[in-house]
Amino acid sequence: MLARGGAMSPYSGLGSTHTALVNRLESGLIKDYELSQIHEYEISKNPLKRLWRRWFSGPKSVNKMASGSDIVHVTDQEQAGLIPKTGNTVVTIHDLFHLFPSKRNDVQIGDAKISGIRKKDLAKIREGISRAKLLICVSKDTQQECEMRFPGIETVWIPHAIDTEAYAVETKRPKWFVDGVNLLVIGSEEARKRVDFAVKVCSELDVTLHKIGAESSLQSKQELCTLANDLGCNLNWVGRLESNEMIAALQHADALLFPSVAEGFGLPPLEAYAAGTVALVANAPAHNEIPLAHHILPVNDVDAWREAISTLKDETSIVRKRAAEFSVERWAERHKSAYDSLF
C-alpha cells in the first residue's frame, strides 16, 4: 500500500517520485511486489479541512486500510504522520530540511521561523518517522543524518532513477539557443539554489546563461534580471519547459551549472548526464554524490567555475555511462531488496 496526503501534481518533485513508484509497481518492475491500494485525497482550499485530514482522518484511514497490505509505504517524509503504529512500515526520506533547519554557506535551509501549528505538525512528522521500520533515503547524506536523528531505525540508500533511453532520443536544437556557448541553470530563485552565483560566474565570460524553471515571484525575477544587467551577464529567462523541451535543451547545451548549496537529491545534474552533457556542480550535499569528480567545484570559487567553463570539452560517453548507474532497473533491484529486508 502506498500512502500520501494531498494528491500533488506529477510535475512537482514529490509528486513525480510518488507517481513513478505507482507506475513501476503497477507494471511489475519491482519483482514479487504489486500495488494493492493507494491512500490519497484531493487537496482542499480549506485550511481547517486540510489540517483535519492531515492529523486525524488521514492517519485513521491509513490505519484501517493497512490490514489489507503486507507493507505500508509513505512516499515522502512530510506525510510520515500517516505511519501506523504496527506492521511493516516504510517512509521515503527526500530531505530533512524542514524537520531540522540549518544554515549552509550563510544560506538558511528550511524554515527557521514557524507557527505554533507548524511546530505541532513537525512533531507529528518526527513521531511518524520514529514509528517506521525502514527509512528509504534518496541520498547518502540524508541517510547519514537519518541514522543520527533516528537511531535504531533501519535505513537504506536508494537514489532516484532516470530513464536513460528517454534522454538519448535525438532532438532538435532549441530555437532560443544562440551562437556561441549556451549554458543552463535550472531551478527556482530560492536562496539555496544560488542562481545569482551562476549569473556572477558568467558575467565576465562570452556565454549566454539560460534560466529554466518557473519564477518564485515576479519580484525575484526582476531582481535577478537587474543583477544580470548590472554585471553584464547575458541572461535569457526561459521559464518552465515540457519534458521533451527540457531534454532538447540539455542535449544541445554546452553545460549545466548547478551551484546549489543544499539538495535532497539534485536531479538536474543527472538529467544532464543522461542527455550527454557536462554538469558543473557545487561541492555540497547531496547533489555532489552524482557527478564525476572533476565536475565538482568549490562552492564559492568564482575563478574555478570560470576556468571549468572555459575548458569545457565533449564528454558524452563518460557522463552517459555515469547516468546509467542510476537506471530504473537498478532502482527496482534496490527497492526489492529493501522490501525483502522487512520479512
Cis peptide before 286 (omega within 30 of 0): yes
Domain definitions of the chain by residue range: 2-161+327-340, 164-325
Nearest to 270 by CA among 317, 309, 324: 324
Let me know: does 286 contact 139? Beta carbons within 8 Å.
yes
Taking the C-alpha atoms of residue 62 and residue 2, their distance in angstroms, rounded to an integer, is: 10
Place of cell 543583477: 227
Q: What's 162's DSSP letter?
A: B
| CATH no. of 2-161+327-340 | 3.40.50.2000
pTM (global) more than 0.85: yes
Q: What is the pLDDT along the chain (343 residues), one digit of tens a residue?
A: 999 999 988 877 788 899 999 999 999 999 999 999 999 999 999 999 999 999 999 999 999 999 989 999 999 999 999 999 899 999 999 999 999 999 988 889 999 899 999 999 999 999 999 999 999 999 999 999 999 999 999 999 999 999 999 999 999 999 999 999 999 999 888 899 999 999 999 998 999 999 998 777 778 889 999 999 999 999 999 989 998 999 999 999 999 999 999 999 999 999 999 999 999 999 999 999 999 999 999 999 999 999 999 999 999 999 999 999 999 999 999 999 999 999 9
| CATH no. of 164-325 | 3.40.50.2000
What is the distance, to the nearest Å, from the Cα of residue 271 to the centroid of all Cα atoms in its chain? 11
Nearest to 75 by CA among 85, 64, 63, 89: 89
Let me know: does 114 contact 121? Beta carbons within 8 Å.
no
Q: Do domains 2-161+327-340 and 164-325 have the same CATH topology?
A: yes
